[in-house]
Structure formats: structure tokens, C-alpha cells
Amino acid sequence: MWDSTFDETLRTFLPFLPAEEALTEETPLREYGLDSLATVELLSVLEQSYNVRFEDDALNLETFENPGRLWTTLSALQPAS
């Protein structure tokens, strides 16, 4: 599962997700308000927060379909600990 920074960041881009509702791996991001402009803004925030750069092949609708896919993609970009 992801860290609290990811959860908090993602929630700020989901205006239709109630605060009390859990963010799961399968939460449909577009249904909760992640539009194209918000996706670009989220991408920028994630790159800055995690000091990574999303590769061109990760810049597609599938990556931003749900938190699980997005976290998997983001995790793969981070250096191994």
C-alpha cells in the first residue's frame, strides 16, 4: 500500500470523494473528479514530492485510472532503497 503523502496528495485532486470514504486501489479517479487539468497538476506534484520523472510511456489514461495503478507506476520510478 502507499504512504500517507500519496493518499493526502491524491485526495486534494478528488473533489467528489467524501473525506470519510476510503481511498482504495480500485477507486475510479475520474469518477471522483480527476479531470485532464487536474491530472497534469497531480503529475507535477507527484514528480516534485517524490523527486521522480514520469516517462512518456507512463503518461496515459490507464496510469491515472485508479490509485493502485498510479502508485505502482510511481513506485517503479523511485530508486530502490
SS percent in the chain: helix, strand, coil, step 5: 50, 0, 50
Across 21-25, average pLDDT: 96
Supply the range of the domain harboring residue 54: 1-14+35-81
24 in a structural domain = no
d(CA 52, CA 16) in angstroms, rounded, equals: 28
26 in a structural domain = no
21 in a structural domain = no
CA 60 distance to own-chain centroid: 12
Structural domains of the chain, count = 1
The pTM of the full predicted model, rounded to 2 decimals, is 0.93
**What's residue 81's pLDDT?**
60
From the CA atom positions of the chain, what is the Rg in Å? 12
Q: Residue 61 sits in a domain of what CATH number? A: 1.10.1200.10
25 in a structural domain = no
**What's residue 9's pLDDT?**
97
Judge whether 74 and 6 are in contact, CB under 8 Å.
Answer: yes
